């Protein structure tokens, strides 16, 4: 199967090894292109899934990934915990028309009640005071 990779890291104050400017460039330029490439048609057989690798670029804290595939949750589990420096390969089927990923931090042991990144996506909740965090959107 083919593989595309994206790296998530929180803002500078949560991940001091990163520079805020680098994060802005990653989100503004690189990440949308990687997400679109993950969904682009390939020569792989239809029943074989494309993998989208999400890497936790923060060396100090785990992140949790919530996602939405089309109108519901995709084939991967919701609220995936990724340890510092580790990766997780998401399944992206060729006929998928859109998907969203929400990196979250400082969550409970189930990936809920997060201090950062609550999404309001399928099976997710939002902080009543702060509201929902926007997803990394791959609709096109």
pLDDT of residue 87: 93
Q: Return the SS3 of 93.
A: coil
pLDDT digits (tens, 9 = 90+) for 77-114: 889 999 999 999 988 877 777 778 888 899 999 988 88
Question: 123's torsion region: left (phi>0), alpha (psi -120 to 50) or beta?
Answer: left
Q: Is the pLDDT of residue 45 over 70?
A: no
Question: What CA–CA distance (Å, rounded) separates 132 from 107?
Answer: 15
| pLDDT-based confidence at residue 17 (cuts at 50, 70, 90) | very low
CA 70 from chain center: how many Å?
15
Query: Where do the domains of the chain lie?
Result: 3-137
Q: Which residue has the higher pLDDT, 100 or 53?
A: 53
Most confident of 11-20, 48-57, 78-87: 78-87
Q: Average pLDDT, whole number, for the chain?
A: 68
pLDDT of residue 50: 67
């Amino acid at each position: 199967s083919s593989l595309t990779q994206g790296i998530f890291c929180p803002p500078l104050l949560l991940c001091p090894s990163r520079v805020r400017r680098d994060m802005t460039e990653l989100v503004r330029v690189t990440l949308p292109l990687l997400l679109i490439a993950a969904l682009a048609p390939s020569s792989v057989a239809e029943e074989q899934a494309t993998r989208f690798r999400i890497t936790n670029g923060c060396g100090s804290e785990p992140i949790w990934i919530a996602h939405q595939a089309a109108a519901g949750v995709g084939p991967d589990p919701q609220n995936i915990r990724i340890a510092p420096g580790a990766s997780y390969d998401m399944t992206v089927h060729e006929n998928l028309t859109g998907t969203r990923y929400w990196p979250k931090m400082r969550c409970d042991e189930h990936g809920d009640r997060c201090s950062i990144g609550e999404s309001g996506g399928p099976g997710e909740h939002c902080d009543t005071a702060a509201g929902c965090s926007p997803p990394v959107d791959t609709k096109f």
